[in-house]
Amino acid sequence: MSHNFDPTVLREYDIRGIIGETLGAEDARAIGRGFATLLTRAGGKTVAVGYDGRTSSTMLEEALVEGLNASGCDAIRVGMGPTPMLYYAAASAEEVDGGIQITGSHNPANYNGFKMVFQGRPFFGEDILTIGRMAAEGDWDNGTGTSEHRDVMDAYIERMLKGLDGVDLTAMSGLKIAWDNGNGAAGPALEALAARLPGEHHLLFTEVDGNFPNHHPDPTVEANLEDLRAVVAEKNLDFGVAFDGDGDRIGAIDGQGRVIWGDQLLMIYAEDLLQRMPGSTIIADVKASRALFDHVAKLGGQPVMWKTGHSLIKSKMKETGSPLAGEMSGHVFFADDYYGYDDALYAGIRLLTASARLGKSVTELRSEMPAMVNTPEMRFQVDESRKFAAIDEVKARLADSPAVVDGTDGVRVTNDDGWWLLRASNTQDVLVARAESETEAGLERLMAQIDEQLAASGLERGESVGH
C-alpha cells in the first residue's frame, strides 16, 4: 500500500493544500502513517493532535488519527483550538513525543494543512519531503495505537497567565484593549483569557467560523485591521491586538490607529526583556527594519539577523540560546519564561506587561520609534527554476560592491541610503523584495538598484502577487 501526494502540498514549513483538489482524507491518513513510523523508529509513541475551525478540519483530524494509530502511535486529541494550544499540549505533557495541528492558518477558507512538532523540535523541510517519499514507497510500519480526548484549554490559559507574574497589576488595571480574533480558532481561548486579565477588554469576532465572514484572518494585511481600528478609535482604547486564523501570528495597532508591524513589536518586547536579561541574543528575520537591530544593540543586546521562516527561527533560537525572536509576519517566540514557540495570545499578554513594566503606553512606545520610509513586502512571480539562480547572480555581481552585502537569506544590501532585500521564497515560485530608507528619495534610489539587478538577470518586478 502506498500513496502519492499532489506535489504542491509538501511545502517547506508545513503541508498545505486545497480541500477536494489537492488535499483530502487519504492524504491525512498517509501523513499520520509516515509521522507515526518516523516517531516510533525514533523511540516515540504518543502524538498530540489539534485542529482549527475550518469546515474540513474534523474530517482531516479523523483520518490523521486513523493513520497514526495504524502505524502504532497513540493519539491525544485536544480538539479545536489555536495552534499554540497544540504546541502547549506537546511541550507540557511528559508522555507526548510529537504534535500535529490541522490548520490552514491565514489561507482562504477552502485551504487546510498540517503543522508539526517532532520530539520537541520543528518538523519541516527535509522532514516533510521524507513523509512524501515514505508514502510513495509504502514505507510504513504497522501497529495498533489508542486514541483519547483530553481537554487542555484551562491548563493552557493558566500557563499563559503566568506571564503576569511579578508585574504590577494595578498598573495594568487601567488599560483598555481591543482584541480581533477574525473568527479564527483562538476565539474560545481568547474569551477565557480576557476574562482573567486586568483591565477592560473589547472582543471582536470570537465566534469560530471557518468561512471568515467578517474579514480575512491575516493581521499583516492592513485592510484586515480596519474593524480593530474603528473600535479603538470609537471607544478611545489604549491599543488593539489581532490574530491570524490559527492564533500563532499577532498584529497590533496603537491608540492612534497606527499599525505596529512585526519588527516594531519586537522592539517593544526587546526593550522589556533586555532590562531583565541584559546582553541577550535577539533574533529577527532578514525582512526586519534596521531600526530594530540598532535598537537591540543600543540596549546592550546581541542582534542576530536570520532566515525567514518560523521553523528556521525556532531552530536558530535553540542553537544560540536566544530568549526572544520574531518575524515581520507576526510570529513572535518567547523562550525567557515560555516554551519558545509562536503564540499570538501570549504575545498579546506580553504587550500588556511590557507597557506596564516600561511605564509607557503602547502609543508612546510606538511614537519613540524612528520614522523609517519602507516598502511593503513585494512578491513577484519568477519561474521556479530561476528564483534561486537569480539570487546567486545578484550576489556574484555585488561581490566587489562597496555596500555591505549580507547573504544570510537571499541578498540584503546596506548602503548610505538604507537597505534593500531580494530573496527567493521557500514556499512559492516568487522572489520577495523589500527596501527601507530614512527619505523618500533614498527609497527611490534603493528601488532603482533592485530593478537594475533584476534587469541584469533578465527579470522585472511586475505586479506584486499575494501569499
| Active-site residue set | 105
Find residue 432's DSSP bridge partners.
379, 423
CA distances from 114 to 101, 223, 246 (A): 6, 27, 11
Per the CB < 8 A criterion, the answer to whether 236 and 177 are in contact is no
Angle, helices 187-194 vs 153-161, to 10°: value is 50
**Is residue 60 within a helix (H) or strand (E), and if so which, with residue range?**
helix 57-70
Per the CB < 8 A criterion, the answer to whether 38 and 73 are in contact is no
Sheet holding 259-260, edge to edge: 200-204, 176-180, 239-243, 250-254, 259-260
Residue type (1 letter), 360: K
Residue type (1 letter), 268: I
Smallest CA-to-CA distance from 395 within 370, 412, 378 is with: 412
Coil, helix or strand for 422? strand
Phi, psi of 223 (to 5 degrees): -60, -30
Phi, psi of 338 (to 5 degrees): -135, -165
**Is residue 407 within a helix (H) or strand (E), and if so which, with residue range?**
none
Separation of CA 149 from chain center = 27
CA 42 – CA 33 distance, rounded (Å): 14
Coil, helix or strand for 1? coil
